[in-house]
Amino acid sequence: MPKVVVIGSANRDLTCRLDRLPQLGETVSGGEFYTSFGGKGANQAVAAHRVGAEVRLLAKVGCDRNGDAIIEHLEALGLATDGILRDGSHHSGVALIMVDRTGNNAIGVAPGSNWHLTVEDIHGAQSLISWGEVVLAQLEVPLVTVREGLRFAKDNGLVTILNPAPARPLSEEILSLADILTPNETEAGSLTGASVWDVDEAAQAGKRLLESGAGQVIVTLGRKGACWIHKDFVQTFPSFPVASVDSTAAGDAFNGALACAVAEGRPMHEAIRFASAAGAVAVTRRGAQDSLPTRDEIDDLLEGSQ
């Protein structure tokens, strides 16, 4: 079984589904409210688990009811929780999400304990990290922690995947620790200072990120597909035609599935297509972790698109 270690966040999500997203200063009433579980780290760990990986998640939650609920939820899904640390000084992370009828969303996060996952926590989890074959990280925990986790993984021969989300400035040092960098169009634009609206612009942004140290880059473009930028070539991948309901965890589905496929040793073009199908299935359902697909669902979509 492929082994994936995820270093990242775990949240309780509070979601309001609306007819449309409010403009600045506006209140839109008539919504539907529900709670679920999220955080990019936990989402990607669940995504990798659902498609067949054995997963360890290194994250930190508070000693509160939300922290208890997050751990109980992950255990119920069959994930090991020995890497979930408790923080007695800060609340568990909470995300406030608004989703419109077409699946577009706006998200605000109170990170709480996620911002207190430390370099020392990485040092204390070295045996957990070195157990894996692929290490996947995002940017909802401190950058120094991400850097230390990726550095330790590379020093121990693991493949590193960095999903630079949410968008933040990154040094060449951190970019050079990513064997695979997976920004969406917004994040690619933020990292390079250029607009990224289509495949050609994604390719140019990817080349700049390679020059900044990334091993290879995959820019996800939603309905416009994905663009894989390698030092020797650029390859594009079309999107899958699906009815979008909620795009909340599409990127997390992509990254978790990609990590699993890479740990399985699949060729990269096959891994990207598998991950793209995972993201496509995810947008057809509400919520974050509730929307993440199984391997059978991804395979069905891949077979139906041939």
> What are 22's two structure tokens?
């409010």
Is 80 exceeded by the pLDDT of residue 288? Answer: no
pLDDT of 112 strictly over 80: yes
Q: How many domains does the structure of the chain reveal?
A: 1
Q: What is the mean pLDDT of residues 60-87?
A: 97
pLDDT band at residue 267, thresholds of 50, 70 and 90?
very high
pLDDT class of 113 with cuts at 50, 70, 90: very high
Which are the contacts of 282, defined by CB distance < 8 A and separation ≥ 6? 249, 250, 252, 253, 291, 292, 293
**8 Å CB contact between 116 and 90:** yes
Domain boundaries, position 150: 3-304
pLDDT, greater one: 97 or 140? 140
Question: What pLDDT is stored for residue 191 in this prediction?
Answer: 97
DSSP notation for 146-186: HHHHHHHHHHTT-EEEE---S-----HHHHTT-SEE--BHH
Residue 265: per-residue pLDDT: 97
In angstroms, the CA 174 to CA 181 distance is: 10
> Mean per-residue pLDDT for 239-251?
84
Give the pLDDT band of residue 143 (cuts 50, 70, 90).
very high
The enclosing domain of 181 has a CATH number of 3.40.1190.20
Q: Specify the pairing of strand 134-137 against strand 3-7.
A: parallel
Which class for 25: exposed (0-12), middle (13-18), buried (19 or more C-beta within 10 A)?
Answer: exposed
Q: How far apart are CA 44 and CA 61, in angstroms?
A: 16
Mean pLDDT of the chain: 95
Tell me the whole-structure pTM to 2 decimals.
Answer: 0.93
Question: Among all residues, which ones are annotated catalytic?
Answer: 252
User: 259 pLDDT exceeds 90?
Assistant: yes
Instruction: Note the pLDDT tens digit of each residue in 2-33.
Output: 999 999 999 998 889 999 999 999 999 999 99
Rounded-to-integer distance, Cα 4 and Cα 305, Å: 28
